[in-house]
């Protein structure tokens, strides 16, 4: 077994590998960019080596610097994690040439599966069922459109070297094909350095089911059952579970055989995943399944497989890479219970899942146990930067069956607290509560199908939330006053008390709070050991304590309750009864403008790089017309016209980096 390994990755997966290595007595070396100098994976590793600037292409994608760090520190092997160089055959070859073990499959297997087109041809020869489509080398746009027309719409354009939903577009008609192809190729080139694409029939109401496979150098190959990864947004997975709901023993055996055949066809060693698209069945019959691709690495969602098998797949990777045989045979593997994984992202679901950046002012995940697990690469106080994937954590739960696992997921999401960046925790809580998900009516269009439930137009703030925010603010003010008066030698001084005492007067004040466009005024009056709070003419006695951890123990009238109220700037994030509410404290003395006076420009929603100008200067465009494309956090974001108008000028050219809030376009609305 290795004595020391280097982890050629960052964030959550680097921390995950360090955890297993430490348990096995293996020393770890982290690599980091300038942006990650204080990152959690750097803090956890035994050693850490700086490999370059913040941009991934100048650090985590620099194979020579990573290998230099491995040799410099005496690491015997490199674990690539997922993403970055994990499926890069050149990096695997360089490791071998340097005498460093690559903890992954052989170079030949990476090469064979690295191209989706070549992989499908190989799988066809091996008898693995394929999705109807064009997987050839002719990349002429007209030829690709003709192939799409012949396949029949809708079709899916996919980057041959892609993954993670990047370089992928669903096309509904021939008229939309050229624009979608251009965008797909551009994103594929940017993400993978290769704009080769394939075109496939888009399977209506498909399920995305993948099989975890494992091989060793002794010729053994097994599968560790399936995961259902159908719940996706923008072709990226959001929720995963194992085993797949409704999977029969016969179908599991058939898909397992196909996955093992695929692995054997390329001489696979280590952890890999064979992904399939499964048709919706008719009349109670199971639909056909088709090979989609093979990921020659550990997957983001591997924890659900670990939870139902009781195995540590990273440990298996390390043992197989060191030459050992796999610990178990196929007959010794079994499924125990059900597991769900939710990906916690710094993103705003209400704004098209736009990634968010900033400092994690407050971060409190649910307590881990035998049935709740949190895999994360960040801690409270860390930064979510614009340079990498905006994942905060993976929340994994286990239950004896799907019903229990789902109940535990709902409870765990209700306990998750994130303040400082926009996040998808509330969205995930709504998602796992939808009838479709609860009843396992799964397909890749579930989120679009449940739009009304997942993105409600307006949800009124409950009175309890307004009152809890007000009470927390009063307790916070009292704590600040007490701290300020603490040095006073007179402990009985009235100046130490915030009890509303007035000379010949009656204490009465108002607190103005806001949620979105809704404002709420609360009248505050002192009362014995508490306050009288009046909201919309209704008077409530309130008292409570606010701890240093932002936990509020409150009494409203005769009811006692708990909440978490986190102060960040003017915002008071209220976590109550499984939901979070951003409540702003309004400064009624601020007589500034409304903040809407500046017109005529379109601003960058986050830091990024301009990669294409779609419209032309002087053009008259309709509302919603694409103007330019911004790349940030590994994804493309199209800036569109807010109304019909004229594009007066662009402030940046393709390739330019822009900051959050930068004016991108001079735009003049027309009637």
Residues marked as catalytic:
297
- Give the rounded distance of the alpha carbon of 167 from its chain centre: 18
- Any idea which residue has 């090469």 for tokens? 111
- Any idea which residue has 């259902």 for tokens? 228
Task: Write out the DSSP string of 102-132.
Answer: ESS--HHHHHHHHSHHHHHHHHHHTT--B-S
CB 49 within 8 A of CB 69: yes
Number of Cβ within 10 Å of residue 557's Cβ equals: 11
- Any idea which residue has 């998808």 for tokens? 424
Computed on alpha carbons and rounded to an integer, the radius of gyration of the chain in Å comes to 28
Task: Write out the DSSP string of 308-341.
Answer: HHT--HHHHHHHHHTTPPPS--GGG----SEEEE
Number of Cβ within 10 Å of residue 632's Cβ equals: 22
CB 381 within 8 A of CB 364: no
CB 354 within 8 A of CB 603: no
How many residues make up the chain in this entry? 671
| Helices then strands, each counted (H, E), the chain | 17, 39
- Any idea which residue has 């449940």 for tokens? 450
CB 471 within 8 A of CB 555: no
Residue 494 carries which DSSP code?
A: G
| DSSP strands (E only) in 377-495 | 383-384, 391-399, 417-419
Helix, coil or strand: residue 367: coil
CB 539 within 8 A of CB 532: yes
| Burial classification of residue 537, based on how many CB atoms lie within 10 Å of its CB (0-12 exposed, 13-18 middle, 19 or more buried) | exposed
Strand order of the β-sheet with 601-603 is 601-603, 663-669, 645-650, 620-621
Helix (H) / strand (E) element for 466: namely helix 463-485
Q: How far apart are CA 165 and CA 614, in angstroms?
A: 22
CB 322 within 8 A of CB 1: yes
Tell me if the bond preceding 531 is cis, omega within 30° of 0: no
Q: How far apart are CA 32 and CA 362, in angstroms?
A: 24
Number of Cβ within 10 Å of residue 57's Cβ equals: 11
Task: Write out the DSSP string of 22-36.
Answer: HHTT-EEEEEEEGGG
161: left (phi over 0), alpha (psi -120 to 50) or beta: alpha
CB 496 within 8 A of CB 480: no
| Burial classification of residue 660, based on how many CB atoms lie within 10 Å of its CB (0-12 exposed, 13-18 middle, 19 or more buried) | middle
CB 320 within 8 A of CB 2: no
């Amino acid at each position: 077994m290795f004595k020391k390994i280097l982890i050629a990755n960052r964030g959550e997966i680097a921390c995950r590998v360090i955890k297993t290595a430490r348990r096995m007595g293996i020393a770890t070396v982290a690599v980091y960019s300038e942006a990650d100098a204080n990152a959690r994976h750097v803090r956890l590793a035994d050693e850490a080596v700086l490999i370059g600037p913040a941009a991934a292409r100048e650090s985590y994608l620099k194979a020579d610097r990573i290998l230099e760090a491995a040799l410099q520190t005496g690491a015997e092997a490199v674990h690539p994690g997922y993403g970055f160089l994990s499926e890069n055959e050149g990096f695997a070859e360089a490791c071998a040439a340097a005498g460093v073990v690559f903890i992954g499959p052989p170079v030949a297997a990476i090469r064979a599966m690295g191209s989706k087109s070549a992989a499908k041809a190989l799988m066809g020869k091996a008898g693995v069922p394929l999705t109807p489509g064009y997987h050839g080398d002719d990349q002429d746009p007209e030829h690709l459109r003709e192939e799409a027309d012949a396949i029949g719409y809708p079709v899916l354009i996919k980057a041959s070297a892609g993954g993670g939903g990047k370089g992928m577009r669903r096309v509904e008609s021939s008229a939309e094909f050229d624009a979608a192809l251009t965008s797909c190729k551009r994103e594929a080139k940017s993400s993978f350095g290769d704009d080769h694409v394939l075109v496939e029939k888009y399977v209506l109401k498909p399920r995305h089911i993948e099989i975890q496979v494992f091989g060793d150098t002794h010729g053994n190959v097994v599968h560790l059952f399936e995961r259902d990864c159908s719940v996706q947004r923008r072709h990226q997975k959001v929720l995963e579970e194992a085993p797949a709901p409704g999977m029969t023993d016969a179908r599991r055996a058939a898909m397992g055989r196909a996955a093992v055949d695929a692995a054997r066809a390329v001489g696979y060693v280590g952890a890999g995943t064979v992904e399939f698209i499964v048709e919706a069945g008719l009349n109670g019959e199971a639909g056909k399944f088709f090979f989609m691709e093979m990921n020659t690495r550990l997957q983001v969602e591997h924890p659900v497989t670990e939870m139902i098998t009781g195995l540590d797949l990273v440990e298996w990777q390390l043992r197989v890479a060191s030459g050992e045989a796999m610990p178990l045979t196929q007959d010794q593997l079994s499924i125990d219970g059900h597991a769900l994984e939710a990906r916690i992202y710094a993103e705003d679901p209400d704004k098209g899942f736009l990634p968010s950046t900033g400092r994690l002012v407050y971060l409190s995940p649910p307590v881990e146990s035998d049935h709740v697990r949190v895999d994360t690469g960040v801690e409270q106080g860390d930064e979510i930067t614009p340079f990498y994937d905006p994942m905060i954590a993976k929340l994994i739960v286990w239950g004896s069956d799907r019903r229990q696992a789902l109940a535990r997921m709902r409870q765990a999401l209700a306990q998750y607290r994130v303040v400082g960046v926009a996040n998808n925790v509330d969205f995930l809580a709504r998602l796992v509560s939808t009838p479709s998900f609860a009843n396992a009516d799964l397909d890749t269009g579930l989120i679009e199908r449940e739009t009304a439930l997942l993105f409600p137009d307006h949800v009124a703030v409950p009175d309890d939330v307004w009152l809890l925010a007000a009470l927390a603010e009063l307790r916070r003010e009292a704590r600040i006053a007490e701290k300020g008066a603490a040095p006073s030698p007179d402990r009985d001084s009235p100046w130490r008390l915030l009890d509303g005492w007035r000379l010949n007067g009656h204490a009465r004040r108002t607190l103005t709070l806001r949620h979105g466009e809704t404002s709420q005024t609360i009248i505050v009056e002192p009362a014995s050991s508490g306050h009288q709070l009046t909201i919309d003419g209704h008077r409530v006695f309130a008292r409570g304590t606010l701890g240093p951890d932002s936990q509020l123990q409150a009494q409203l009238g005769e009811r006692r309750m708990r909440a978490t109220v986190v102060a960040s700037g003017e915002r008071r994030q209220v976590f109550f009864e499984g939901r979070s509410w951003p409540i702003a404290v309004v400064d009624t003395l601020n007589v500034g403008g409304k903040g809407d006076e500046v017109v005529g420009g379109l601003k960058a929603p986050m830091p990024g790089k301009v990669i294409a100008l779609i419209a032309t200067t002087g053009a008259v465009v309709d509302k919603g017309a694409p103007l330019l494309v911004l790349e940030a956090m590994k994804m493309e974001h199209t800036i569109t016209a807010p109304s019909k108008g004229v594009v007066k000028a662009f402030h940046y050219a393709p390739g330019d980096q822009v900051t959050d809030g930068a004016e991108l376009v001079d735009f003049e609305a027309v009637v």
